A and B are shown apart, each in its own frame.
Chain A
Amino acid sequence: MSLYRDEGVVLRTQKLGEADRIVTILTKRTGKVRAVAKGVRRTTSRFGARLEPFTHVDLQLHVGRSLDVVTQAETLRPYGEALIADYPRYTSGSAMLETADRLTVGEKEPALRQFLLLIGGLRTLVEGNHEARLVLDAYFLRSLAVAGYAPALESCARCSAQSVRAFAIVAGGVVCGACRPAGAAVPAAETLALMVALLRGDWPSADASESRHRTECSGLVAAYLQWHIEHGIRSLRHVERV
């Protein structure tokens, strides 16, 4: 199979040589693919804006020795076009793309659920019906759940007791008084309820939450995410939380 076709979301691009780029794409069937887009940086490139980050594209790729080569690309939905007009949403979207890149470690290992989750996250972000930081935290929690790192939020992560008191990243979620390790955070009950709502997709409850609980939730989710993927998310530093 020298040629194959797939659809995917462009996660990031890196300059290569005079006018080429290496494009990292999370595809529906193949998983994460790194491919060369030849001549894409020229103003007369036939790819144009189709291979910009955030773009959902239909692709034809040629299997190369180390990197595949993009031979054709058609836009399915240019999410980036709507995001660049709104800086806080753009920075949140960037954090989503970086997380998707980090959570799909191996190349060409199918990751359909991560792909569908990313598409859903970007669509929700673009629609603008919910605050950007809520969409971002919901995406973080669900992508962690898909990767097998869902935090325990309703019963103790260690002993399954129902009366929980603290949130311990090391333990994998909320913990009871007896299991509580040193340094565990003690978030408000409303913050934990918000995390549950975001994980389940209960938007009416999430939208009704107070700003201070959203801030606390974002801090916990970001710390939990970065601890589990064993890597900092560089975009997070630049996310504008309004």
Chain B
Amino acid sequence: MYEGVVQNLIDELGLLPGVGPKSAQRIAFHLLSADPTDVKRLAHALLEVKEKVRFCRVCGNVAAEDDCRICRDARRDLHVICVVEESKDVVAIERTREFRGRYHVLGGAISPIDGIGPDDLRIRELMTRLADGQVTELILATDPNLEGEATATYLARLVKPMGVKVTRLASGLPVGGDLEYADEVTLGRAFEGRRLLDV
């Protein structure tokens, strides 16, 4: 155990994800020996992120204002919405530069075993966005795991009667992998979603 304030810092750092007691101690001593200006900048960034960052009232993505940068962008296609689980997924899709529509962040996936049902996600807000009839396609980009697939099935069942085209991101073999290591489910999906080679 260290002196009060040092131990407090170690305890607080130890609450961060992936930071164990040893790592917390290492970070604390790094901060103690660091330049005071650098530490102040870090403390300011921590406070600022909690004060300024909120969730976009339209899509639920993290934003510095009421609406996020993507929802404010008039050049984005209003007719297509891509549904993702977390804000991190928006960043991953944006990196591809393939999608020009808007997003809807659910805030997780349906997982009955963890007590997370449809009412715990931003599904009602999605339905409100779809109600004005402007959206023609809903792309379901939830994670390709069991919870993500179940969420996609649930949403498809809910949205299809509204006459909106519902699509799901393709699943299959990862680029750069070996076929022999692919599991049966992934390989099966890759066969299901095979495409015509137009050469």
| Chain A residues close to B by CB (< 8 Å) | 12, 17-18, 43-44, 46-50, 52-54, 75, 78, 80-81, 84-87, 90-91, 94-95, 97-98, 234-235, 237-239
Are B113 and A84 touching (Cβ within 8 A)? no
Are B112 and A234 touching (Cβ within 8 A)? yes
Given contact pairs A52-B185, A78-B185, A239-B112, a sample of 6 additional A-B residue pairs in the complex whose CB atoms are under 8 Å apart: A12-B113, A48-B182, A53-B113, A53-B146, A235-B112, A235-B115
Name A85's closest neighbour in chain B (CB-CB): B153
Name B182's closest neighbour in chain A (CB-CB): A48
A141 to B110, CA, bound (A): 26
Are B186 and A49 touching (Cβ within 8 A)? yes
Given A54-B146, A87-B157, A235-B113, the answer on whether A49 and B185 have CB atoms closer than 8 Å is: yes
Given A44-B177, A80-B146, the answer on whether A94 and B112 have CB atoms closer than 8 Å is: yes
Given A17-B18, A85-B153, A87-B153, the answer on whether A49 and B174 have CB atoms closer than 8 Å is: no
| Chain B residues close to A by CB (< 8 Å) | 18, 110-115, 117-118, 145-146, 149-150, 153-154, 157, 174, 176-177, 181-186, 188
Are B146 and A52 touching (Cβ within 8 A)? yes
Specify which chain B residues have a CB less than 8 angstroms from the CB of A48 in the assembled complex.
Answer: 181-183, 185-186
Given A47-B183, A84-B149, the answer on whether A238 and B110 have CB atoms closer than 8 Å is: yes
Specify which chain B residues have a CB less than 8 angstroms from the CB of A49 in the assembled complex.
Answer: 145, 183-186
Specify which of A44, A81, A94, A95 is in contact with B185 (CB 8 Å cutoff): A81
Query: Which of B113, B154, B177, B186 is most buried by chain A, counting CB atoms within 10 A of its CB?
Result: B113
Specify which chain B residues have a CB less than 8 angstroms from the CB of A91 in the assembled complex.
Answer: 112
Specify which of A17, A43, A47 is in contact with B174 (CB 8 Å cutoff): A43
Name B119's closest neighbour in chain A (CB-CB): A238
Are A84 and B115 touching (Cβ within 8 A)? no
Specify which chain B residues have a CB less than 8 angstroms from the CB of A75 in the assembled complex.
Answer: 183-185
Are A90 and B153 touching (Cβ within 8 A)? yes
A98 to B184, CA, bound (A): 25
Specify which chain B residues have a CB less than 8 angstroms from the CB of A97 in the assembled complex.
Answer: 113
A52 to B183, CA, bound (A): 11
A62 to B165, CA, bound (A): 47
Are A98 and B183 touching (Cβ within 8 A)? no
Specify which chain B residues have a CB less than 8 angstroms from the CB of A17 in the assembled complex.
Answer: 18
Specify which chain A residues have a CB less than 8 angstroms from the CB of B176 in the assembled complex.
Answer: 44
A95 to B153, CA, bound (A): 18
Are A234 and B183 touching (Cβ within 8 A)? no
Closest Cβ of chain A to B166, distance in Å, is 14
Specify which chain A residues have a CB less than 8 angstroms from the CB of B181 in the assembled complex.
Answer: 46, 48
Specify which chain B residues have a CB less than 8 angstroms from the CB of A94 in the assembled complex.
Answer: 111-113
Are A84 and B18 touching (Cβ within 8 A)? no
Specify which chain B residues have a CB less than 8 angstroms from the CB of A78 in the assembled complex.
Answer: 184-185
Are B146 and A44 touching (Cβ within 8 A)? no
Specify which chain A residues have a CB less than 8 angstroms from the CB of B154 in the assembled complex.
Answer: 87
Closest Cβ of chain A to B177, distance in Å, is 5
A-B contact pairs, 11 of them (CB 8 A): A18-B18, A46-B181, A47-B183, A48-B185, A49-B145, A75-B185, A86-B153, A94-B113, A95-B112, A234-B112, A235-B112
Closest Cβ of chain B to A152, distance in Å, is 30
Name A47's closest neighbour in chain B (CB-CB): B183
Query: Which of B112, B154, B186 is most buried by chain A, counting CB atoms within 10 A of its CB?
Result: B112
Specify which chain B residues have a CB less than 8 angstroms from the CB of A86 in the assembled complex.
Answer: 153
Specify which of B112, B146, B183 is in contact with A238 (CB 8 Å cutoff): B112
